[in-house]
Amino acid sequence: MTSHYSGMELLPIAGNWGVGGSPQTLENIDPYTGESLTHMHLATTIDVDDAFAGAAEQQPAWAALPAQKRADVFHRAARIMEDRKDEIVDWLTREAGAIRARAEWEWMAVRAVMLEAASYPSRVSGRILPADLIPGKENRVYRRPLGTVAVISPWNFPMQLSNRSVAPALAVGNAVVLKPSSDTPVTGGLLLAKIYEEAGLPPGLLSVVVGKSSEIGDHLAAHPSAGLTSFTGSTAVGRHLAEQAPLQKMSLELGGNGPLVILEDAPIERAVSAAVFGSYFHQGQVCMATNRIIVDERLHAEFVERLRERVSALTCGDPSDPDTDIGPVINQKQFDAVLEKIDCARRQGADVFAAGSPCGPTGRVLPPHVIVGDNNVATASEEVFGPVATVIKATDDDHALAIANDTDYGLSSAVITADTERGVRFALRMEAGMTHVNDTTVNDEPNTAFGGEKNSGVGRFGGEWAISEFTTDHWISVQHTERTYAI
């Protein structure tokens, strides 16, 4: 039997696992029980510099390896994921507060991205372009890695949202310096480092720096050795990082305010199922969550009642219990922010059709809420990032579309209708990077190529886009015959 990983209080920096250089420490807390999981010293800007220096030293040899050699690392990593499934799922449950089904989905997604990344080394291709004016000349466009990629990831899907950048960046020949959220340092970074190390990734190619964003975040994102910064998080922080390094190449997936539009011909049970999954999966702590449910007035009353019934039957409590549907909100700051938005919506005239008192040892298991209001109440106009859905009435398709698009965000969206092609026509008018038609398990494909519009981000993640994002063109012109030019 494979023994569990140890040393989760240490940071892998430039090929060595050691104590972070800061005297400040981080107590890593289980959001449900309040128990301490790990205790570690934080990284400093000097640690960040060391990580980039180590990456620069090791990256050229890694990029020069035959494609199959790099691919083998990811095949081995996927097998390690299988061998350590229970260990990984347990960490996701205890550190991220993920219910069992959610933790297993994330495990599956991380493994799937590893297998997809294994194909990337042999898919990086260039092209040959003829010259327009000069005989005997050709232009060769080579695709090469950027060098070192900085990755800053959030706490809500910590392992997947780190790995979806780490795996492809490494696969196409880069090194990576990863900063996971301080709420999820193990699942967001240290576990990945252990897995890739066990899979045979050469030391120094993946460093993990755990530290306060205010102290090392800007330094990491704007580091002169970073060929690209991949950031997933809030729009405010993403905009701040872009301002710190305006000439730096960045891929940013930022906030969302996802609308689910239910047209008047929608099958009511399918619509309710889509709403429950979209709004309450992982306590609504998903950037692509359904924040607003926009329902045609002919279905509105029935839909609200059916949703209230379904939501009231959800089980709240210990995320390690397989029967639990709703676990804890990640930390007290986020919990308080969710409650404030609910209270604000009430003051603005919204009605609360489903609610409940917080429970659990830390008091941060918030029962799912159903709020009925308009597009201006706080729970609709702002991203809630909690187990809250706001139902909004629309008079017809055009009104529903106007409500859906009336937001500064454009990450994910959805529509439910009995007529698939009608749904597609509606989806094409929605202002979002992704729209789901009649899908009750929104974005369940881990290798989805995805990005946002408006204030929801810049760049794309996954699929062929990942290869493009983490490599760059090198144009080389070749003259095959001797020529003399008159000046």
Q: Could you tell me if 134 and 95 lie in one domain? A: yes
Segments in the chain below pLDDT 70: 1, 441-464, 482-487
The answer to whether 217 and 179 have CB atoms below 8 angstroms apart is: yes
CB-based contacts of 212, cutoff 8 Å, min separation 6 = 24, 42, 182
pLDDT at 487 (0 to 100)? 47
In the chain, helix, strand, coil percent, each to 5? 40, 20, 40
| CATH code of the domain containing 224 | 3.40.605.10
CB atoms near residue 144 (< 10 Å):
15
Asked if the structure places residue 41 within a domain, the reply is yes
Domain span including residue 217 = 11-254+456-474
User: Do 403 and 468 belong together in one domain?
Assistant: no
pLDDT tens column, 299-321: 999 999 999 999 999 999 999 99
* Predicted local confidence at residue 196, as pLDDT: 98
Q: Are 237 and 309 in the same domain?
A: no
Together in a domain, 378 and 470: no
Q: Is the residue at 1 inside a domain? A: no
Please confirm, yes or no, whether 253 is among the known catalytic residues.
Answer: yes
Q: Please check whether residues 246 and 268 belong to one and the same domain.
A: no
Residues 267 and 215 in one domain: no
Domain shared by 375 and 427, yes or no: yes
Q: Which is catalytic among the residues 287, 316, 383, 469?
A: 287
If DSSP codes are grouped into helix, strand and coil, which group holds residue 95?
helix
DSSP-derived letter for residue 283 is: G
pLDDT, residue 444, reads 44
> Where does 30-162 show beta strands of DSSP type E?
36-41, 127-130, 137-145, 148-152
**What confidence score (pLDDT) does residue 410 get?**
86
- The pair phi, psi for residue 289, each rounded to 5°, is -60, 155
Domain count for the chain, please give it. Answer: 2
Whether residue 449 lies inside any domain: the answer is no
Among the options 253, 382, 383, 469, which is catalytic? 253
Same domain, 311 and 250: no
pLDDT in tens, 317-360: 999 999 999 999 999 999 999 999 999 999 999 999 999 999 99
Residue 485 belongs to some domain of the structure:
no
Residue 100 counted as domain residue: yes
- For residue 446, being part of any structural domain is answered with no
Concatenated DSSP letters of 325-349: SB---S-HHHHHHHHHHHHHHHHTT
Cα 419 to Cα 428: distance, rounded to the nearest angstrom? 15
Which pLDDT belongs to residue 441? 66
> 461 and 401 in one domain?
no
Given a contact cutoff of 8 angstroms between Cβ atoms, the answer to whether 96 and 158 are in contact is yes
Contacts of 319 (CB under 8 A, 6+ apart): 32, 93, 97, 98, 99, 100, 103, 327, 328
Angstrom distance (rounded) from CA 239 to CA 187 = 26
Please indicate, yes or no, if residue 384 is contained in any of the structural domains.
yes
| CA atoms of 368 and 357, how far apart (whole Å) | 10
3-state secondary structure of 393: strand
Are 245 and 276 in a shared domain?
no
Burial of 264 from C-beta contacts in 10 A (0-12 / 13-18 / 19+): middle
pTM: 0.92
Residue 284 has what pLDDT?
95
Question: Is residue 426 in a domain?
Answer: yes
Q: What local confidence, expressed as pLDDT, does residue 22 receive?
A: 97
**Is residue 463 located within the same domain as residue 398?**
no
CATH number of the domain that residue 424 is part of: 3.40.309.10
